[in-house]
Chains A and B, each alone.
Chain A
Amino acid sequence: MKRIELCDLTIGYGRRILLDCVSAAIDAGLLVALLGRNGTGKSTLLRAVAGLEKPLAGEIRLCGRPLRELPPQELAQIVSFVTTEKIRIANLTCREAVALGRAPYTDWLGRLDDADCRAVEHALAVVGMAAFAEKAMDRLSDGEAQRVMIARALAQDTPLILLDEPTAFLDMPNRYEVCTLLRRLAHDEGKCILFSTHELDIALALCDAVALIDSPQLHLLPVGKMVRSGLIERLFDSETVAFDAGTCKVTMRR
């Protein structure tokens, strides 16, 4: 089943068009990387799919339903979003932060029932942060905080998860670990995960498909096809670096 469908979608700000009349669809159980140069609209596209930004034209359908017809609470049960914001709140424990993800399911006071608590503990365990449950958010490293925010999205229990540059600020092992975690979630739990990144090598090594923004177009292809398409070279090659499709590596020009 299609989780995300973009139908003749146009996004941008006022006169500045970032994506012009693009169409694409992503299935359940796939990990998809969103690539593109700075300022080409990766974050804007993610925000539009999350319902935070209105498209200029066209339609976004989530799980077969038009996004703009979904009331906020139902939308929050379909799509969760991990932004680039650093969340460092004193006294807020990891468990409490993850529990906020249950908001679409809890009552007016946000009280958790047994199912909610199980979802929270499960989410913490999946991202490997169960031992940190009682630790305050302002005492975490960047990698730990990112995992907690992913756990919060998991607790929200949505078929679709969006992440805006989840690997930024992270060191090399953490980048791979976070991305393998996302891959596991997509493949084992059947989530549809779309994340923006600048890590070309990680995207090609771990993702099922790549969405490449070639402003104002969007190309969505399985990884193998994307590598052979020549699009990556066209977009990322510059005077100093070159992409080699044979080895999937970026090299410095001599």
Chain B
Amino acid sequence: MSILVVGLFVCDLTSGAVGIGVQDVWNLMTGAPCEPLTRDIILKIRLVKALVALLAGIALAASGLLMQTLFRNPLAGPFVLGISSGASLGVALFLLGAPLLGVAAHSLLLGIGTIGAAWIGAAAILLLIMAVSRRIKDIMVILILGMMFGSAVGALVEILQYLSNEAALKTFVVWTMGSLADVTASQLALLAPAVLLGAALTFAVLKPLNLLLLGERYARTMGLNVERTRALIFIATTLLSGTVTAFCGPIGFVGLAVPHLARMLFRSADHRVLMPASMLLGMAMLLVCDLFSKQTALPINTLTALLGIPIVVWVVIRNKSMV
């Protein structure tokens, strides 16, 4: 069994790496001008963007899988549960609120402030949902609450937008469209460690996640420290979805759809397989979306929704009994 898992794991890594290698190269080639001098510069910009796509893919897919297992809910994901909305609210408060208060923002400060605000926003919503889910076990209630949080946040953001000046508004609206391109190399220095730390935390909870498949009660009787596991998952999710939302805007459906894709392709429920698989598929999905986005000039948000929604619909139809 362990050999099988290790085999799958290796298989998984190599096949994924090749797929990404090919896509990565393709990604770098498309639209690159032939002049050798400028090509180098474009490669560097493209490389940053591709790296951001990889990191965002890892982060969103991993946090989706964490949420689905923690809440034992096939439709959970950072976007659906309103965690991305929470992060958005944090960013909105910061981007729109700071100018209102007359605080002028330096660009690096802007980066750190945005990420911090997104973490706080994501953490707040996540805390709320975790508190509610302790009392109410009904999956539908949690989902509806997530949607309500999302809508409430939307309304709050609209009020903020109404009150804000044009310049701040424009910064925020551009941010909400979600983009991998706005991340600069210096911001990457913030994004990468945060996402990698979050990813490292998810690898620390692979065994607890497997135990949580049977539910918290069973997990506890098998010796799991459920409180510590919840705390780790909480921190990992906040880091992963909060950071990505801060830099790339709210990107929906990757966190929801990718883990299901991983389950379907690898026919496994074992998180030691699903987690790396989801991360790889998440990277692949965002790279594909990024490619289309460059060719059609559509926001990445729109594309992840177009790609993700069919998968989600399929999951709902297949899991009628679970939802």
Contacts and interface: CB of A to CB of B under 8 A. Distances in A.
Interface stretch (A82-90, A175-183, A203-211, A237-245): A82-90
Contacts of B319: 90
B204 A83 contact: no
Given A52-B220, A95-B1, A112-B2, A100 B268 contact: no
A251 interface: no
A141 interface: no
Contacts of B220: 51-52, 72
B211 A103 contact: yes
Contacts of B1: 95-96, 99, 112, 117, 120
Given A72-B225, A91-B269, A109 B207 contact: yes
A72 B224 contact: yes
B46 interface: no
Contact of A81 (B2, B213, B221): B221
Interface residues of B, number: 26
Contacts of A87: 214-215, 218
A84 to B, nearest CB: 10
B204 A108 contact: yes
Contacts of A47: 217
A91 B267 contact: yes
Contacts of A156: 222
B270 interface: yes
A101 B221 CA distance: 9
Contact of A73 (B211, B214, B223): B223
Contacts of A23: none
A79 B5 CA distance: 28
A112 B214 CA distance: 18
A109 B224 contact: no
Nearest to B214: A87
A33 interface: no
B260 to A, nearest CB: 10
B73 interface: no
Nearest to B264: A91
A63 B2 CA distance: 33
B201 interface: no
B218 A106 contact: no
The 8 closest A-B pairs by CB, nearest first: A76-B223, A110-B207, A92-B269, A104-B223, A81-B221, A91-B269, A73-B223, A103-B222
Interface of A: 47, 50-52, 72-77, 79-81, 83, 85, 87, 89-92, 95-97, 99-101, 103-104, 106, 108-113, 117, 120, 156
22 contacts: A50-B221, A51-B221, A52-B217, A72-B223, A75-B223, A81-B218, A81-B221, A85-B217, A87-B215, A90-B319, A91-B263, A91-B267, A91-B269, A92-B213, A92-B269, A96-B269, A96-B270, A100-B210, A104-B223, A110-B272, A112-B1, A113-B2
Given A50-B221, A103-B207, 4 more contacts: A80-B221, A85-B215, A91-B263, A103-B224
